[in-house]
Amino acid sequence: MEEVDHLAHERTKAQFDVDAMKIIWAGSRHAFELSDRISRLVASDPAFRKDNRTMLGRKELFKNTLRKTAHVWKQIIELHLSEEEASRLRFYVDEPAFTDLHWGMFIPAIKGQGTDDQQKKWLPLAYKMQIIGCYAQTELGHGSNVQGLETTATFDPETDEFIIHSPTLTSSKWWPGGLGKISTHAVVYARLITDGRDHGVHGFIVQLRSLDDHSSLPGITVGDIGMKFGNGAYNTMDNGVLRFDHVRIPRDQMLMRVSQVTREGKYRQSDVPRQLVYGTMVYVRQTIVSDASCALSRAVCIATRYSAVRRQFGSQNGGQETQVIDYKTQQSRLFPLLASAYAFRFVGEWLKWLYTDVTQRLQANDFSTLPEAHACTAGLKSLTTTATADGIEECRKLCGGHGYLCSSGLPELFAVYVPACTYEGDNVVLLLQVARFLMKTVSQLGSAKQPVGTTAYMGRVEHLLKCRCDVQKAEDWLQPSVVMEAFEARAARMSVACAQNLSKFASPEEGFAELSADLVEAAVAHCQLIVVSK
Amino acid sequence: MEEVDHLAHERTKAQFDVDAMKIIWAGSRHAFELSDRISRLVASDPAFRKDNRTMLGRKELFKNTLRKTAHVWKQIIELHLSEEEASRLRFYVDEPAFTDLHWGMFIPAIKGQGTDDQQKKWLPLAYKMQIIGCYAQTELGHGSNVQGLETTATFDPETDEFIIHSPTLTSSKWWPGGLGKISTHAVVYARLITDGRDHGVHGFIVQLRSLDDHSSLPGITVGDIGMKFGNGAYNTMDNGVLRFDHVRIPRDQMLMRVSQVTREGKYRQSDVPRQLVYGTMVYVRQTIVSDASCALSRAVCIATRYSAVRRQFGSQNGGQETQVIDYKTQQSRLFPLLASAYAFRFVGEWLKWLYTDVTQRLQANDFSTLPEAHACTAGLKSLTTTATADGIEECRKLCGGHGYLCSSGLPELFAVYVPACTYEGDNVVLLLQVARFLMKTVSQLGSAKQPVGTTAYMGRVEHLLKCRCDVQKAEDWLQPSVVMEAFEARAARMSVACAQNLSKFASPEEGFAELSADLVEAAVAHCQLIVVSK
Ligand SMILES: Cc1cc2nc3c(=O)[nH]c(=O)nc-3n(C[C@H](O)[C@H](O)[C@H](O)COP(=O)(O)OP(=O)(O)OC[C@H]3O[C@@H](n4cnc5c(N)ncnc54)[C@H](O)[C@@H]3O)c2cc1C
Ligand SMILES: Cc1cc2nc3c(=O)[nH]c(=O)nc-3n(C[C@H](O)[C@H](O)[C@H](O)COP(=O)(O)OP(=O)(O)OC[C@H]3O[C@@H](n4cnc5c(N)ncnc54)[C@H](O)[C@@H]3O)c2cc1C
Ligand SMILES: [Ca+2]
């Protein structure tokens, strides 16, 4: 049957320069051209086909991802791709793959927490993929509460080794991506014990499988945790379970940049500031915010095109029916999501700047903005991932029955996206952290400590508490300053109200627990303000 | 490892009679015992195992459902199950199956729209499953707008036959469950054309496949439309595509209870009122509301149990951590969903009464309450399915990482549930129908036509527009009458505001289109009031 370009007419109606917008969206002409080139490379290579992804059984699906990941690696080598190109290539292949954690967490953990010697030893192996690593933090019993992890790493001064052990069922590592079938190594988080004393959770490099035949090493039990949401989605990934039965590793496999255990078993802090760890968190969460904008824009793109092509009802005299995009209800559901996708894109770019700023300050031993930067990225991670997950599902519904078919792309997009609300910090737990920071900020108002960065508006709290919105007619809302002040006033008032209610409790902790639902709302209002302001 | 009953302690704390509540939930002691007995039957029969459902490839999955459906049928015969028992059995087997549409739409369509003779001929075949039927209404190009269907049924007086034909690509039937692989027959909706005149959409019984070798009949192209959301979910079902190339069927296969075509090709209305069709809609939507409560209660049950068992943070002096159910944020997300599950249960029971009432009135030729009953069920279908879909996903998130595993049950529950927001009327399209009815009701206020049933509160509109809530302290909200008046006042004010804004437009249709987003909100407020009042 003939092919018709149903969108051509809509496209001619754009009131802005589409090519210029493409560049703005990509961030720069260079970024646009890179994306364009790599996306074509992926689209034209049959090894990367995606159309069968939702139809394969689990085993076939996983093998398929293995083949793709190997092919990606081959392409990177053969085409001499830069790090930037390689990362774009992985992005467009568009499947959770076991190497995600290798590049995304294993290597960064060694970079951030390893000494220079450790980096020199392990990073070349990892870069050449002679070893494959995963990130084994979460256990069956503890995800959000990392300090509650139960795996132990007990120092044995006799042999100069740590003994890694899983003392309980709940201490089993549970979830790490790349663990179930593939990884040869892991960064394992465990309670460090020397001389009977518990020093809390630290990271260790542990070999899991033989480099000769890939069999699991003695004392190690490892497997896949089974099916996850969706057809393809994270089922292309071997999220795993891992138990240790007194597994011995050399002392120098504890990541020792921030704290060390000596040959004699003494525990010491180095002079590298612990706060460096938060710098990495700011980095990871910044990428999550950018990813949110990508995911939401894909969903919005599908739903917008569908809404322009789909016609339903309203035909007069046998003419064409109305495009569903012309229904106000469709618009009132779709357009705010479109706006959000852009907003998250710009706030993501701003977060990149924030990360650079924080890094430079850390290098100059200036920790003053770190709490604010940390609260800001935690809050934005929570806000943007929640909005994106809900937004993808709304886009799916906007496509009627067709949105329920995998061929629309939306079911998979949802299933693969939603865990972003849970990993790298459960979204509610993160908002509670933001709220804690806001309450501290409010309590310090009037003191010498001035609110900085995204909390600077709190400095005008007296004005914000009593100002009244002077909007007279609808058009007044088009003034950015009016919108900003409304968001500022709302955020400030909610925070101050929470702080006042908190002060009525005998203990702050009790008050915080009782009021936590309100506190979360105040945190959301603060984060919405940040998005609006950037 | 030892099995611990982590919930035992929680269970001893119930402040109500749990056994009495089970009966109330089930509707009656009889219903409870029936459910209990049949659920055990399913749980103890290995043929009905569910644990492998998410792991099978599409083909294996589908074969598995075929085996189960055949086994259900065998059990029904062997155990001489009553219709009530059989329907419970299918409920607990808990997989969309091709027979769902056979029992749920094909047979009811023949019962509702077929003449006595047609019923006598087709129903026994269907009851014995000597034929298997599906419901072929939606086309690629038309779902919500049924009046826009394009398939034609042209009467040929020469041979006394209808010629069923798919004139365009968009006229292909698309979505019918049971169509892709299984059904031998379908009720097909097509534009009736006699003597060159188009009489709009009517239903026809069409044989699709041979009863000897199941091959598709000449002129019929039929297939499966591919993968849908989730692992198992609707992938156990063969939703299909169907095209006709001038397929001939005898004249007596048009469903002729309400309108007929004579031997000479004359089109006639019978004296059976068309409104009967709406009676069937009230019935189907009432079952959807009951199903919403089932689905939501299952999700809430899983999330509540998890929240009681899961402990995270807050351990003092090495003691146990806090049960996450004790966090106010967890409560503020979970408990409203628990309350909704109960509310939907009770409003579902009330709808059963409404259906009986409407049916009795229809039989007595009293159509006066039909528009109100129709708007009410349409609105409640929309409200409860939207809330349930969102609620299941919230329950999934409440279970942290574990909720993302299929073994939690929640991903499948979501994937199999969400199309309820789309089928049997897109939820937004339904709310617009409710809004239309509300605007009509408001416009008739003060006339002789008094608002009835769920719109009776509109009769007190003057009071509701000016009354003020006299709540002084938090406890006052515990009085049902206070809550009711607040919901009534809100719903009345929103409807009246919309009506006033509508009157400013030159044409009501233009106004309705422009204000449709507000109208949908007014409709939601009205539906929420109904839920609160029952
Ligand atoms: C797809 C996926 C991939 C993953 N990959 C990895 C990986 O590679 N490596 C790894 O180590 N881990 C990984 N994880 C695990 C992930 O980091 C955890 O699931 C996450 O940290 C959340 O913890 P949890 O599952 O224990 O949730 P829980 O903490 O059990 O949360 C359950 C509920 O309790 C609530 N809650 C918890 N604490 C509080 C509190 N203090 N106050 C109020 N409410 C609270 C939460 O809001 C939530 O509603 C992955 C998870 C997923 C889903
Ligand atoms: C799992 C599943 C099973 C199904 N089983 C069957 C079956 O057995 N037999 C069968 O015949 N069909 C079946 N269907 C089809 C189903 O009935 C349709 O998908 C449904 O009627 C919605 O129509 P649509 O898909 O055309 O949505 P559309 O009408 O295309 O809706 C797309 C968007 O447009 C909006 N929209 C449409 N009209 C308006 C309007 N007037 N004003 C404002 N907004 C509007 C909607 O709100 C929606 O956001 C099934 C569908 C699913 C998902
Ligand atoms: Ca599958």
In angstroms, the separation between the Cα of residue B230 and the nearest Cα of chain A is 4
Task: Indicate the DSSP class of residue A104.
Answer: I
Residue B12 DSSP SS3: helix
Q: Could you report the per-residue pLDDT of A328-354, keeping only the tens digit for each?
A: 999 999 999 999 999 999 999 999 999
- B409 with B283, same domain: the answer is yes
Give yes or no for residue B303 CB within 6 A of ligand 1.
no
**Tokens 């998890």 correspond to what residue?**
B306
DSSP lists the bridge partners of residue A216 as A209
- A278 with A421, same domain: the answer is yes
Q: What is the pLDDT of residue B57?
A: 87
- B264 with B139, same domain: the answer is yes
**CATH label of the domain that carries residue B23:** 1.10.540.10
Is B385 inside a domain boundary?
Answer: yes
Distance B124 CA to ligand 3 centre (A): 37
Residues A166, A144: Cα–Cα separation, whole Å = 19
Q: What is the dihedral of CA A137, A142, A145, A148, to 10 degrees?
A: -90
Task: Indicate the DSSP class of residue B105.
Answer: I
Residue A96 DSSP SS3: coil
Q: Would you call A424 a catalytic residue per the annotation?
A: yes
CB contacts of B327 in chain A (<8 Å) are: 513, 516
Instruction: Give the number of other Cβ atoms within 10 Å of residue A431's Cβ.
Output: 27
- Long-range Cβ contacts of A491-494 (<8 Å, 24+ apart): A491/A457, A491/A522, A491/A525, A491/A526, A491/A528, A491/A529, A492/A457, A492/A458, A492/A460, A492/A461, A492/A464, A492/A465, A493/A464, A493/A465, A494/A518, A494/A521, A494/A522, A494/A525, A494/A526
CB of B345 closer than 8 Å to CB of B25: yes
To probe the interface with A, which of B138, B404, B406, B515 has the most A CB atoms within 10 Å? B404
Rounded (10°) angle between helices A276-309 and A370-398 = 20
To probe the interface with B, which of A2, A53, A231, A429 has the most B CB atoms within 10 Å? A231
- B408 with B293, same domain: the answer is yes
Structural domain boundaries, residue B520: 482-534
Is A414 inside a domain boundary?
Answer: yes
- B149 with B198, same domain: the answer is yes
Interface of A with B in 250-309 (CB under 8 A): none
Please indicate if any CB of chain B lies within 8 Å of the CB of A13.
no
Q: Could you report the per-residue pLDDT of A214-249, keeping only the tens digit for each?
A: 999 999 999 999 999 999 999 999 999 999 999 999
Q: Within 13 Å of residue B452, how many CA atoms lie on the same side as its CB?
A: 12
- Long-range Cβ contacts of A515-519 (<8 Å, 24+ apart): A515/B328, A516/A432, A516/A435, A516/B327, A516/B328, A516/B329, A517/B328, A517/B329, A517/B331, A517/B332, A518/A494, A519/A431, A519/A432, A519/A435, A519/A438, A519/A439
The one catalytic residue in A95, A150, A372, A424 is A424
Which of A392, A193, A428, A423 has its CA nearest to residue A298?
A: A392
Q: What is the pLDDT of residue A2?
A: 59
Burial class, B507, CB count within 10 angstroms (exposed 0-12 / middle 13-18 / buried 19+): exposed
First to last CA, chain A: 48
CB of B388 closer than 8 Å to CB of B410: no
Is B435 inside a domain boundary?
Answer: no
CA A342 to chain centre: 18
Interface of A with B in 329-358 (CB under 8 A): 329-333
CB spacing of B328 vs A400 below 8 angstroms: no
Is B387 inside a domain boundary?
Answer: yes
Nearest CA in chain B to A169: B1
**CATH label of the domain that carries residue B421:** 1.20.140.10
Which of B228, B236, B231, B227 has its CA nearest to residue B409?
A: B231
Residue A171 DSSP SS3: helix
DSSP A34-51: HHHHHHHHHHH-GGG--T
Mean pLDDT calculated for residue range A270-274: 82
CB spacing of A229 vs B327 below 8 angstroms: no
| Among candidate residues B378, B402, B425, the one where a domain is terminated | B425
CA B433 to chain centre: 17
Pull the structure tokens for residue B306. 């998890």
A106 has a pLDDT exceeding 90: yes
Q: Could you report the per-residue pLDDT of A159-199, keeping only the tens digit for each?
A: 999 999 999 999 999 999 999 999 999 999 999 999 999 99
Pull the structure tokens for residue A80. 């001499």
CB neighbour list of residue B115: distance below 8 Å, 6 or more residues apart = B255, B256, B257
Residues B327, B322: Cα–Cα separation, whole Å = 8
| Among candidate residues B217, B243, B269, the one where a domain is terminated | B269
Q: What is the pLDDT of residue A12?
A: 93
- A264 with A282, same domain: the answer is no
CB spacing of A227 vs B427 below 8 angstroms: no
Q: Within 13 Å of residue B99, how many CA atoms lie on the same side as its CB?
A: 23
| Among candidate residues B69, B95, B121, the one where a domain is terminated | B95
Q: What is the pLDDT of residue B2?
A: 59
Q: What is the ipTM of this complex?
A: 0.97
Q: What is the pLDDT of residue A319?
A: 86
Q: Could you report the per-residue pLDDT of A510-521, keeping only the tens digit for each?
A: 999 999 999 999
Residue A197 DSSP SS3: strand
Which of A178, A177, A370 has its CA nearest to residue A281?
A: A370
**CATH label of the domain that carries residue B140:** 2.40.110.10
Q: What is the pLDDT of residue A277?
A: 74
CB spacing of A315 vs B144 below 8 angstroms: no
Instruction: Give me the sign of the Cα torsion angle A403, A407, A409, A413.
Output: positive
Over pLDDT 90: what percentage of chain A? 89
DSSP B132-189: -EEEE--BSS-SS-GGG---EEEEETTTTEEEEE--SGGGSEE--TTTTTT-SEEEEE
Residues B308, B464: Cα–Cα separation, whole Å = 42
Is A11 inside a domain boundary?
Answer: no
Q: Could you report the per-residue pLDDT of A410-428, keeping only the tens digit for each?
A: 999 999 999 999 999 999 9
To probe the interface with B, which of A228, A321, A424 has the most B CB atoms within 10 Å? A228
Q: What is the pLDDT of residue B156?
A: 98
Residues recorded for chain A: 534
- A142 with A175, same domain: the answer is yes
- B330 with B414, same domain: the answer is yes
Pairing of strands A152-156, A161-165: antiparallel
Give yes or no for residue A398 CB within 6 A of ligand 2.
yes
- B416 with B283, same domain: the answer is yes
- B231 with B305, same domain: the answer is no
Q: What is the pLDDT of residue A57?
A: 87
Is B351 inside a domain boundary?
Answer: yes
Rg, Å, chain B Cα set: 26
CB spacing of B144 vs A406 below 8 angstroms: no
Structurally, chain B folds into a number of domains equal to 4
Nearest CA in chain A to B424: A401
Rg, Å, chain A Cα set: 26
Distance A451 CA to ligand 2 centre (A): 51
Pull the structure tokens for residue A220. 């190690």
Pick from B328, B333, B401: CB nearest A422:
B401
Instruction: Give the number of other Cβ atoms within 10 Å of residue B366's Cβ.
Output: 11
Q: What is the pLDDT of residue A448?
A: 84
- A410 with A313, same domain: the answer is yes
Taking CA atoms only, the protein residue closest to ligand 1 atom 8 is A176
CB of A430 closer than 8 Å to CB of A378: yes
Is A191 inside a domain boundary?
Answer: yes
CA B253 to chain centre: 28
Is A327 inside a domain boundary?
Answer: yes
Q: Residue A317's pLDDT band (boundaries 50, 70, 90)?
A: confident
Please indicate if any CB of chain A lies within 8 Å of the CB of B413.
no
Count Cβ neighbours within 10 Å for each residue of A252-268 and write b for 16 or more, e otherwise.
Answer: ebbbbbbbbbeeeeebe
Nearest ligand for residue B303 CA: 1
Nearest ligand for residue A189 CA: 1
- Which ligand 2 atom minimizes the distance to the CA of B142? 26
Residue B9 DSSP SS3: helix
**Which residue numbers in chain B have pLDDT < 50?**
none
- A293 with A258, same domain: the answer is no
